[in-house]
Amino acid sequence: MVCFLHTADLHLGLRITRFPPEIIKKVREHRMAALDNILHVAKDRRVDFLLVAGDLFDDDGIDPNTIRRTFEILEAAPMQVLVLPGNHDPLLPGGIWDRPPWNHDIPGRIRVLREAQPIVLDDGVSLFPCPVFRKTCLNDPTEWIRQAPATTDTRIGTAHGSLRTREDLPLDDHLIARHATSELRLDYLALGHWHRRQLFADPEGVERTAYPGVHEPMGFQGTAENRTGWADYSGDLDLFRDAGTGEVLLVRLRSPKDPPEIEAVQVASTIWEEQNRELRAMQDLERLIGEIARKPEPDRRLLRLRLTGVLDAEGMLKVEDLREILSGRYLWGELDDEGLHVEPTEEQIGSLAGHGVLQRVLDKLHGDMALADPPTARIAERSLLLLYQIAREAET
């Protein structure tokens, strides 16, 4: 039996633009921490090797410190680490793999899969690597395996590209035959490139082809503007939007031709969340504040919270308590309250007039709040809220 971890698309050195510089630094550190988590899983599960199916790095221009740190982390692995160049870190002359410390493999530990030729990993286990030599290519990277000698070994292929499962894939996206495992006599095909875990069955119904997804979330779920600023070379296909979790695949192959045993294992260091909440009363807000304050491990969480609904003036002022929790306790928090509107009670309006606020000012603000023009209505709402806050503070 052979047991290994299959990961891909770590994109270390990821280009991030969404956050302030101090948060970007923390997010990148968490990506390295998730790499450490992978090694802990590999050690705990006593795997035979760790296989990285492309895009260990985000590009060839990342900082030398990230390149060296990654090598040092993997060098300490208690098992062999096999690294396939992908479309973000292809095997180009002068690229990452030609620069120290990656230009020299460590026997028995780190091995960059530089050639498309069979490798005997152990007695009865052969690996068929398909390294990427350029960012785009019209050829199927696994095609060479057809000419490889037939063996009775457990046969594992690894490649980086798009499996031909749909019609809208770019033709130069390293397209791989849909049933490559059957056509190439592979027991398992470890793929990288698509950022969410997906398993595909062969014609006999056995799942032998797999993408592990990313080891660490790369952004918020949903549309591109909610992500981090990163973009894939292949375009904005949904295939490159991760599932919001960070995983690797633990793969066991008991003997040639047996179905692979595939288990997803969580390794992410951060938790990315988006929530949409409607508020209609102070009680709704208080429940939400308690919920956000009690979430476990806030220092690992990035939370984008969008509020809608209507609150009275007192409730709107208390929204700032929520903002303080997000900014003070969470790794990063964003509160979008553009969809939350103020509707002061009669008593609250009376307190404004009682402090000498001219009635015509209140009438004007109420009139503006009723307008269909959202920016004008929003300014009027906030002006009224500010007046209420000043009046309340004047009482204390």
Tokens 């599960």: give the residue: 45
Domains of the chain: residue spans and CATH:
2-266 (3.60.21.10), 271-395 (no CATH)
318: number of CA atoms within 13 Å, CB side?
A: 16
What pLDDT, on a 0 to 100 scale, did the predictor assign at position 160? 97
3-state helix, strand, coil in the chain (%, to 5): 35, 25, 45
Q: In this structure, are strands 2-7 and 247-253 parallel, antiparallel, or unpaired?
A: antiparallel
Q: What is the pLDDT of residue 106?
A: 75
Contact between residue 141 and residue 162 where contact means Cβ atoms under 8 Å apart: no
DSSP string, 46-66: T-SEEEE-S-SBS-TTS-HHH
| Contacts with 393 (C-beta within 8 Å, 6 or more apart), sequence order | none
Question: 273-298 burial, b for 16+ CB within 10 Å, e for fewer?
Answer: bbeebebeeeebbeebbeebeeeeeb
Above pLDDT 70, what percent of the chain? 83
Q: For 171-199, how does the pLDDT look when each residue is reduced to its tens digit (9 = 90+)?
A: 999 999 999 999 999 999 999 999 999 99
CA distance 315 to 392: 13
For the chain, residues with pLDDT lower than 50 are 226, 357-358, 394
Place of tokens 């956000």: 292
Query: Phi/psi of residue 247, each to 5°?
Result: -140, 160
Distance CA 311, CA 317 (A): 9
Q: Which pLDDT value is given to residue 372?
A: 56
**What's the confidence (pLDDT) of residue 358?**
47
Question: What is each CA distance from 52 to 47, 220, 393, in whole angstroms?
Answer: 14, 24, 60
Q: How far is 8 from 180, CA to CA, in rounded Å?
A: 19
Paired strand residues for 5? 50, 250
Q: How far apart are CA 271 and CA 245, in angstroms?
A: 8
Question: 43: which residues sit within 8 A by CB, 6+ positions away?
Answer: 77, 78, 79
**C-alpha gyration radius of the chain:** 27
Q: For residues 225 and 20, is the Cβ–Cβ distance under 8 A?
A: no
Q: Do 303 and 292 meet the contact criterion of CB atoms below 8 Å apart?
A: yes
Q: Which residues have C-beta within 8 Å of that of residue 265, sequence separation ≥ 6?
A: 5, 41, 45, 247, 248, 249, 250
Beta bridge partners of 57: 12
